[in-house]
Amino acid sequence: MKKVIYLVILVLVAAGFYLAGSWHTRPAAPRNSPALTGSGGDEADLPPGTVKVSPEKQQVIGVRVGLAERRGTTHTIRTFGKVAVDENRIYRVVAPAEGWVVDLEGGTTGSLVAKDQLLCKISGRDIFNRDIVSGQQAFFLALNTLDRKKSDHVPEEQLAAAAQQVLVAEKNLMAIGMGETQIRELERTRKPAREIEVRAPVAGFVLARNVSPHFRFDRNTELYRIADLRRVWILADVYENEADYFQPGIQARVTLPQQKKTYQARVGRVLPLFDGATRTLKVRLELDNPGYTLRPDMFVDVEFPIQLPPAITVPEGAVLDTGLKKTVFVDRGQGFFEPREVETGRRLGNRVEIIKGLSAGERIVTSGTFLIDSESRMELAASGIAVSLAKDPVSGLEVSIRKAEKAGLKSTYQQKVYYFASAENRARFDQEPGRYLKKP
């Protein structure tokens, strides 16, 4: 009798341990659980690869959960640029005729010159005999005529005609290379000059000086090339996929890293030019250059603040990229994490845009993704998931046979069963099965 009682007690204890172990290893999800409500309240309806991780284990492996957010973003694109001369502000000083340099005053390559600063004096047989003498004689005659008519108090029409003759004589002197300063000096002294003064047409930076003492030159020879650096260009390198961001008129910040000076620039209206050597696009920025701090060929740092439209973004660490696909683990509650294949877009700092696969507000794993992926792969291998998947002949997606069976998403054709991801795919297959079975 005692042996029977001991046997009953032993069976009851074993049953108790079994039930306790089952309850501890697979806790039943409440019917109102937000994770399992969407899947019919059955763990079997969760997508393949879903893994369950206890809170203790989540804490050990450092799992953190965040939200997939839809928001507008101000993204800063950083690149480098090179200072270039504004082509509209380059002045070329050329020789009016054949001659030679009489006197070289200054203006070496790389120096800053003021407007009307004397650079050199030139002369020549043709210049002196044909152009300078006749031009100055006509100019002096026009000035004397105008002075005489003013003293005689002639009518306004005659004064206007005399003044017009003076303007014509001045234009002729400018045509042979004389500047405004030298012409005004001739008007004051009424003494002829034997050389033509070459002066800087603008305050700027001497890019090139092609003369030397007693240098002989031909007509139209470039003597000096001067650039006005009060306003310059910045040529910034950007990638092809970023070209749409740089619309004309957007602002940018330019920094001289060594001098810690910052300037505000604006993207010009010229389309970006493609550079075959660097495989990048050249975006032209325009900015003022006070104090001539920016010199040609200097390198600068450029920052573009870009306002992007609202989009679903997740932290960069939430996306597991294997090269063949990109996966995000969605928190389904009660410790269940579902692998979700997603399509990504732009990288915005430390966040990634999600184009397809996620909805705003879904909870996702942001830290510990790699370890959860390892658990998911082990779960797939242990459950023999390859046997429980079938390919939808319409969409080509892998679907769970168990879920398709439960939802009635299957169809039989020529004594073979096909499974589908949606009722629409099943309806299309039933109408034209041969069409989809011919697909490679």
- Residue 265: CB atoms within 10 A of its CB come to 24
Average pLDDT, the chain: 80
Angstrom distance (rounded) from CA 312 to CA 299:
36
Task: State pLDDT tens for residues 194-242.
Answer: 888 888 988 889 999 999 888 998 888 999 999 999 999 999 888 877 7
Task: State pLDDT tens for residues 3-16.
Answer: 545 544 544 544 44
pLDDT at 44 (0 to 100) = 53
Task: State pLDDT tens for residues 296-349.
Answer: 889 999 998 877 778 888 888 888 887 778 888 898 888 888 888 888 887 777
3-state secondary structure string, 246-306? CCCCCEEEEEECCCCEEEEEEECCCCCEEECCCCEEEEEEEEECHHHCCCCCCEEEEEEEE
List the domains of the chain with CATH numbers: 76-85+229-307 (2.40.30.170), 87-227 (2.40.50.100), 385-437 (no CATH)
Written as six digits, the tokens of 279 are 């495989």
Angstrom distance (rounded) from CA 327 to CA 2:
62
pTM, two decimals, is 0.57
Q: CB neighbours of 189 closer than 8 A, spacing ≥ 6?
A: none
21 backbone dihedrals φ, ψ, rounded to 5°: -65, -40
How far is the CA of 345 from the CAs of 157, 313, 320, 330, in angstroms? 76, 9, 14, 19
